[in-house]
Amino acid sequence: MNGDMVYDVIVVGGGPTGMMLAAELRLHDVRVLVLEKDLEPAAIVRSLGLHVRSIEVLDQRGLLERFLARGKQYELGGHFAGIDTPLPDGLDTAHPYILGLPQPVTDRLLAEHAVELGAELRRGCELVGLSQDPDAATAELADGSRLRSRYLVGCDGGRSTVRKLLGIGFPGEPASNGWLLGEMQMTAPLDEVAAVVAEARRTHRGFGVGPVGDGRARVVVPAVGVAEDRTVPPTLDEIKDRLRTFAGTDFGVHSPYWLSRFDDATRLADRYRVGRVLLAGDAAHVHPPLGGQGLNLGVQDAFNLGWKLAAAIDGWAPDDLLDSYQSERRPVAADILTITRAQSELMSVEPGPQAVRRLLGDLIAFDNVNRYLIEKTTSIGIRYDFGEGPPLLGRRLRDVSVPQGHLYGLMHAGRGLLLDQTGRLSAAGWADRVDHVVGVSEELEVPAVLLRPDGHVAWIGDDQRELLTVLPRWFGPAADPGGPHQPAPAAQPPT
């Protein structure tokens, strides 16, 4: 280890992606520093909630209770471009709901978790320069200081400095529409507001004014005719002016809490990794906010990357493990770009998109179409390419009850897990990386599954020899029996 390296990983950006990644790394004792340019957490409410797979991820790390306590559960229907649809029967999850939670709360809970686990968060620290050599990445901060670490991850949002400094291309579509967004006080009575908004939405779908609690109203209004510089927040006068144009009234809005803007640019990074520097979250992909995907995608990027990066630092990562981060997550982001882009098209009030919308409304009535789309928007249908095998291979396994409690409750430490209903298998050489749980679950129709730390199914079967060929692919070589990694006995169900 280089003496000048105090940190194994520098994470640039203390948003939801960066803090989730920091927490995942800390589960494996990785020394991690998060650099965040802002002195205070963002007050702007962008994301309004979490989808099923993110809820499961929280459950897999023992975080769900604290999120549930602060959020509100909503039915999963009407999930695609707001087209009214029922929840398909028997959706493959223990959490078939949306968890409504304003982004500042999500951000705070993720940051608290990372710091509790020992991540260091330094606010008011902006990365302005970056270089790397065979041993380390060097971050240059705005105050002129430099920090070295073995890896650096840019979780610094859609305008990522890290991505630009790496020279990674960010091709896609520039924004064609923009909106002004804010929370403020409003004097108009709510029933009157609802009627006017319903009328305005007939001709302008990207328009909304509604209460969000504590006497606040959330306003979204097309930005047509407003200053083009997207880095500058709008003024209250600009929002009032746009409201009068689209609704004929400004609803008496006043006293804004915060004002912001967003657009529908759609872009995907050419690469997620250059040497010792990686990208995650909005730094790697941006898309229209329709369907509420961005934060979910970023948190799940971090969940995929954390254990792989920790394995590379610990020295047991198989050669291509870190590269599987890009090969697994980039196609998922490309898919999200497609579904958000399609939804934004379906929101248009033009006759062509309206006709497609009517047709899709008919198609969604077919259970398998509805299920296909909902598995995409909730991200529970993701199947990574682990090669030929049964349909479950490469998918995440839903939570199932096991004699020790429930499966996700056994995954809080972020290790691999062999769930063994045969009682005949062994992962003894990997006991420092993989937990072996013996027990029969009535909800599991296969003899045994090997799960990666992110809950995706790496192997299904009952053949010990086959298992021994799969374990090194994800967990590296078996520990030397005489070395420091001693096998631990399998966890047996209570008798």
Ligand X SMILES: Cc1cc2nc3c(=O)[nH]c(=O)nc-3n(C[C@H](O)[C@H](O)[C@H](O)COP(=O)(O)OP(=O)(O)OC[C@H]3O[C@@H](n4cnc5c(N)ncnc54)[C@H](O)[C@@H]3O)c2cc1C
36 counts as binding ligand X under rule CB under 6 A: yes
**Could you tell me the smallest distance in angstroms from the CB atom of residue 114 to ligand X?**
12
179, containing H or E segment:
strand 178-186
CA 123, 128, 133: angle at the middle one, nearest 5?
110
Cβ proximity to ligand X, 96 vs 157, nearer residue:
157
DSSP annotation of 233:
P
**Could you tell me the smallest distance in angstroms from the CB atom of residue 126 to ligand X?**
4
Residues 304, 321 contacting (CB under 8 angstroms): no
Judged by CB under 6 A, the residue of 281, 429, 455, 461 near ligand X is 281
Residues whose CB is less than 8 angstroms from the CB of residue 366 and which lie 6 or more positions away in sequence, other chains included = none
> Could you give the maximum distance between any two Cα atoms of the chain, in Å?
79
Cβ proximity to ligand X, 17 vs 370, nearer residue:
17
Stretch that binds ligand X, among 115-123, 268-276, 289-297, 456-464 (CB under 6 A): 289-297
Nearest to 453 by CA among 321, 348, 284: 321
**Could you tell me the smallest distance in angstroms from the CB atom of residue 467 to ligand X?**
36
Judged by CB under 6 A, the residue of 2, 4, 29, 38 near ligand X is 38
DSSP annotation of 291:
T
14 counts as binding ligand X under rule CB under 6 A: yes
* Alpha-helical runs (H) found in 167-251: 190-201, 236-247
**Could you tell me the smallest distance in angstroms from the CB atom of residue 36 to ligand X?**
5
182 counts as binding ligand X under rule CB under 6 A: no
180, containing H or E segment:
strand 178-186
- The DSSP annotation for 445-475 comes to -SSEEEE-TTSBEEEE-S-HHHHHHHHHHHH
Nearest to 304 by CA among 35, 57, 121, 94: 57
Residues 45-74 that bind ligand X (CB under 6 A): 46-49
35 counts as binding ligand X under rule CB under 6 A: yes
289 counts as binding ligand X under rule CB under 6 A: yes
Residues 137-176 that bind ligand X (CB under 6 A): 155-157, 161
DSSP annotation of 366:
S
416 counts as binding ligand X under rule CB under 6 A: no
Judged by CB under 6 A, the residue of 126, 345, 432, 463 near ligand X is 126
Nearest to 486 by CA among 412, 419, 428: 428
298 counts as binding ligand X under rule CB under 6 A: yes
Cα distance between residue 396 and residue 418, in whole Å: 14
Cβ proximity to ligand X, 157 vs 439, nearer residue:
157
414 counts as binding ligand X under rule CB under 6 A: no
Cβ proximity to ligand X, 17 vs 85, nearer residue:
17
| Chain positions contacting ligand X, by CB under 6 A | 12-18, 35-38, 46-49, 103, 126-127, 155-157, 161, 181, 262, 281-282, 289, 292-296, 298
